[in-house]
Amino acid sequence: MTPDSRSDDSACAGGSRGAVLASLPVPGPSPAPLNTRWQRMTTSLIHRCWNRVKTRGAVNWEHPLARKFGSMGEGSWMAFPPGDCTNAHAIHIGANCFIGAGVTLAVGMPTEVYAPGCDPVIEIGDRTTIGKDCWFVARHSIVLEDDVTIAPNVYFTDHNHTYADPWLPVGQQILQGHPVRVGAGTWIATNVVILPGTTIGRNCTIAAGAVVRGDIPDHSVVAGIPGRVIRRWTKADGWVPPITNEVVVIEGWPVGIPPEEAGE
């Protein structure tokens, strides 16, 4: 057999196989492997169960766990999963508040016990909203007045370690504290730190990432580390410096009323 004849035979054989394969039915899409289907089913089941757990795990003002607090006003609720909560009887929550998942409400150090019926240490005013994963660490007094809005990951504390003794580990040195107060209507953006002795006025805006200590006047905008007032409104001068971006007024949106007109 010559090389040419072998090539012809191979070509014929290949052509025959191609014709046979072409005549076979084309299979449809293969079913997903069992492990992929099982993974999708498991993932879907986990999400459905988790959503149900979050709904059932939330604590509202009627829940038996709400009785552990000094008070929780009607319409208030805490999302699931909650953060740590210590000495809850020293925490008072107003009406129609929302406290996000993972918010820590800690009164006292781990070994400190506050007597039942003690004065409030953490007070949260009516209609206040607290984003997830915020921290409130109090030994003296942290007060949020009404209508305060707090973004996630904000840290509040009313005490800190001293460091005067150069030989004693700082964590073992005396704690000093001063009360913290946030005025009504204030908005605190994400990742802000509020330090001991801070008093923030009414309707202030605290920019993201600011570290705030000291007295902040009403209607102030605070930014930076350390936080400083970068804009303020007064009745005499309005906003200084002026607001440059145009605010589009939406029909039907609520409009604020000056205190003197509201009878306050």
Q: Which residues are catalytic?
A: 161
Distances from the Cα of 12 to the Cα of 2, 4, 8, 58, 176, angstroms: 16, 12, 6, 75, 96
Q: How far apart are CA 38 and CA 8, in angstroms?
A: 51
